[in-house]
């Protein structure tokens, strides 16, 4: 005999299948319920795949934006959080208006739940002079 202290769903299936009144009807009900739940699992699996695809597309869009603004992007950090969420921390430098435009482009993407830009007067030696990167070792 099967021990009935299992998941509530399994107990419900077992109760359906062990109908004393009409064993065949109980078995049919059990099978129909299992098929119904499997259909729901297929729907859930498809939703999860769609979310993963959307997340991958968003990650690509953000990476493309970083490449598009390669003169301003110094570094980025990608942190995996819970429930398929990630956090991007991007260190940029340059004129404040341009940085605000970049931040607006990133935070306005579908799938970005929040975003903030924090300005600091000087974090690293300036690489940005007159709109172009200076060669390594060049005097500023």
**Side-chain-facing half-sphere of 93: CA atoms under 13 Å:** 15
Question: In the predicted model, is pLDDT for residue 65 greater than 70?
Answer: yes
Condensed to tens digits (0 to 9), the pLDDT of residues 99-127 reads: 999 999 999 998 888 888 888 876 677 66
Return the closest-CA partner of residue 88 out of 63, 68, 64, 67: 63
**Three-state secondary-structure class, residue 13:** helix
Condensed to tens digits (0 to 9), the pLDDT of residues 13-58 reads: 555 565 555 666 666 777 777 777 777 777 777 777 777 777 788 8
For the ranges 57-61, 80-84, 95-99, the lowest mean pLDDT is seen at 80-84
- Say what the pTM is: 0.55
8 Å CB contact between 25 and 19: yes
pLDDT at site 7: 53
CATH class, 70-140 region = alpha beta
| Strand locations in the chain (E) | 73-80, 86-92, 128-129, 132-133
pLDDT at site 129: 62
pLDDT at site 3: 43
Of the pLDDT bands very low, low, confident and very high (cuts 50, 70, 90), residue 132 is: low
**Side-chain-facing half-sphere of 49: CA atoms under 13 Å:** 6
Number of other CB atoms surrounding residue 6 within 10 Å: 11
Domain ranges of the chain: 1-68, 70-140
Residues paired with residue 131 on neighbouring β-strands, in sequence order: none
Of the pLDDT bands very low, low, confident and very high (cuts 50, 70, 90), residue 97 is: very high
Average pLDDT over residues 73-96: 87
């Amino acid at each position: 005999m099967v021990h009935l202290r299992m998941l509530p769903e399994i107990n419900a299936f077992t109760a359906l299948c062990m109908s004393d009144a009409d064993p065949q009807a109980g078995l049919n009900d059990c099978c129909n319920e299992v098929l119904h739940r499997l259909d729901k699992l297929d729907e859930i699996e498809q939703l999860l795949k769609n979310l993963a695809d959307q997340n991958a597309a968003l990650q690509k869009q953000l990476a493309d934006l970083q490449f598009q603004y390669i003169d301003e992007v110094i570094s980025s950090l990608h942190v995996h959080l819970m429930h398929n969420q990630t956090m991007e921390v991007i260190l940029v430098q340059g004129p404040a208006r341009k940085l605000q435009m970049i931040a607006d482009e990133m935070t306005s993407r579908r799938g970005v739940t929040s975003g903030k830009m924090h300005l600091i007067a000087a974090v690293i030696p300036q690489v940005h002079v007159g709109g172009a990167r200076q060669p390594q070792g060049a005097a500023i």
